Structure 1
């Protein structure tokens, strides 16, 4: 694939237009209706057909992701629910599902997967000796702080960027900060997410992270294929074929979850729709995210695919400890994560 600006230099652009910002940009807007009211969004356009909406007030996650005007992300009926309307602890700890959706939901920063309880690592408040964690943790759907955004056109490879951060903390217990920078080169069909999670508190804190990427119709439709490069499946929620081509929506379908163990230096997941003429590839260092969870949703109206790189394959906090996969961040200690999302040509 090559975008309209890929092979055009800046001097040429200025000959025909007011500048490259006409085609590639980052713009801050605020949603103002329904459950989305008040959510700030940075609209990023590469000029090569890729557009993403970075929801500042949903942990810097990505709402709509489209290519040439065609939406590729999976969305629920509720839209980008504002953080003030979220109650992660509600619905027996399943409150995450009332805001889940869009291209990316960041899960953590200290817990992922099903609700759980655990003894705190340390605390200087004696009454807090047991912590309850909702589905995918308490760091989801957090209001953010904007550190910067815009078009950088005075470099050899111009790019559009945004940088946001949020803090998940509780006095006397822990404080974790995620700082996120998203960059997309002008004219490109790819973008990169770079995250740093730092313990900004005064006590050690547990750390888990899962990136919940959600793809929907028409990219996900009958015949869509999933390829994890031969990495082995090490867990299934029930007996099913995790990488089988998608079939038509089935009213009897239940969500199917599987976990894969990356055996090479890179985690690489490719989702291909040959009829649509499009493939999406997600890449990241397996040293940072050694596992990938796959969620297949195939019921009518709830039809899509979740690709979920994560720090642990454990189904509970105790199992994570047993597997030596529970990360402990000490004060001022940090972890880095880098993920690349690209649209590629289908193989013939």
Structure 2
């Protein structure tokens, strides 16, 4: 059954009231044409609930724009969507095409700060978000009374005398729901083991993010990444209006899980639309992604908070190796990652999520 427009409908009822499901929701594949975004494929998801988002197959199957009832959920950076051919791999060049968006994947073999690891110069956050996907499949179908829509593709990071690693990603949603699901499989196709680092860079922005917003987590412990973030430790759960000259702050959260091993995190704004409230939550498995990174950037025009589940830290691969925490994939090994990102559309839903998370934390 699908909850739409204040009522619940069966498949037959919706089929009788529409000529095609696209009248209500579904997916649309098209290509961007202007400037340095020219040639980038995009897939719009329309769920019928007011929750809409765009997947970019040519940018690692990541998610750019997302909205709920015309209110943006994600930060969009000054770069806008950039074609993958503009990728700059050295140093901080990755930032020249960081469009923000609801999700940018970092990895797959390195991420974090630029570093020199075993004599190899590595830039910021890896290559995967700049690699176009192959075998892209966009479709939808009825499963009983539920309409399911999806986009799937394979992103391969490979080099002669280097890694050969593949990400198979499926992003899907249900008609009438305000949430999406990410199912990732990362496989080492090489005959030697390879480093594996992955981070899900989920970027919230205005109007969801505002001075009245707050972060709700079941954090056991929070520590600053560096001395620059230490003064903001006590205020990491709250936010402000944009601040001139603000320097980014990054925090590591040690999370408690529910009885099924899941971490729940929410960024909420109870004051949105005169108290109606708006929020976004992220659910994932701690056994898959043991680390949670919070990126707090309160700058003018750079007003964003990142919610970032990861299997590593963000100081770079050399530091991860030095600490003995660098993960590897053996030949033929696969890792599975499942995430859920959803909208909290009212104060009641926000309070329900807060109750859930506070219970986990207690």
TM-score by length of 2: 0.88
Distance 1:70 1:298 in 2: 19
* Structure 2 unpaired stretches of 5+: 353-362
Map 1:264-283 → 2, pairs under 5 A: 264=257, 265-276=261-272, 277-283=277-283
Deviates more, 1:42-51 or 1:107-116: 42-51
Q: Which residue does the alignment assign to 1:256?
A: 249
| Residue equivalent to 2:63 | 62
Distance in 2 separating the partners of 1:275 and 1:88: 41
- Once the 2 structures are TM-superposed, how far is the Cα of residue 228 of structure 1 from its aligned partner? 1.6
Q: Which residue of the partner structure matches residue 199 of structure 1?
A: 188
Larger relative helix fraction: 2
Counterpart in the other structure of 2:358: none
SS in 1 for 2:350: coil
Hey, what does 2:350 align to over in structure 1?
346
Which residue does the alignment assign to 2:307? 307
d(CA) in 1 for partners of 2:107, 2:122 = 10
**Which deviates more, 333-342 or 253-262?**
253-262
Cα shift at 1:202? 2.3
Which residue matches 2:27? 26
Q: Provide, for residues 282-316 of structure 1, a one-character-per-residue CA deviation record: whole Å limited to 9, x for no partner.
A: 01000011111111111111111111111023624
User: Please, what TM-score do these two structures have when normalized by structure 1?
Assistant: 0.91
1:311, 1:325 within 8 Å by CA — same for their partners in 2? no
1:156 Cα deviation from its structure 2 partner: 4.2
- Structure 1: segments with no counterpart, 5+ residues: 120-129
Q: 1:15 to 1:198 in 2, by over 3 A?
A: same
Question: Match for residue 123 of structure 1?
Answer: none
Q: 1:3·1:49 contact (CA, 8 Å) conserved in 2?
A: no
- 1:135 pairs, out of 124, 138, 142, with 124
Q: How much has 1:4 moved relative to structure 2?
A: 2.7
For residues 7-26 of structure 1, the aligned pairs below 5 Å read: 7-26=8-27
Is residue 201 of structure 2 the alignment partner of residue 212 of structure 1? yes
Matched, 1:247 2:249: no
Helix, strand or coil at the partner of 1:187: coil
**Deviation beyond 6 Å, 4+ runs, structure 1:** none
Distance in 1 between residues matched to 2:206 and 2:314, nearest whole Å? 30
* Correspondent of 2:96 among 95, 98, 102: 98
Q: Per-residue displacement from partner, 1:236-293 (whole Å, max 9, x unpaired)?
A: 3322135332111111311111111223222221001001111110010000111111
Alignment of 1:143-154 (within 5 A): 143-154=132-143
SS of 1:231's equivalent in the other structure is strand
Matches of 1:43 and 1:171, distance apart in 2? 35
Further displaced range: 171-180 or 139-148: 139-148
Q: Residues of 1 paired with 2:252 and 2:53: CA distance?
A: 27
**1:192-223 superposed Cα distances (whole Å, 9 cap, x missing partner):** 00111101122211000011111110000111
1:6-65 CA distance string (max 9 Å, x none): 721111112221133321211110000012111001111111111111001000100101
CA contact (8 A) 1:267 1:290 kept: no
Number of residues paired by the alignment? 334
1:190–1:340 contact (8 Å) kept in structure 2: yes
* CA offsets 1:101-148 (integer angstroms, 9 cap, x no match): 1111100001111011223xxxxxxxxxx3221101122311111431
Equivalent-residue separation in structure 2 for 1:166 and 1:55 (angstroms): 12
Taking a change above 3 Å as real, the CA distance of residues 6 and 245 of structure 1, as seen in their structure-2 partners, is farther
Larger CA deviation: 133-142 vs 4-13: 4-13
Matches within 5 A, 1:117-128: 117-119=116-118
Aligned to 1:285: 285
SS of the equivalent of 1:304 reads strand
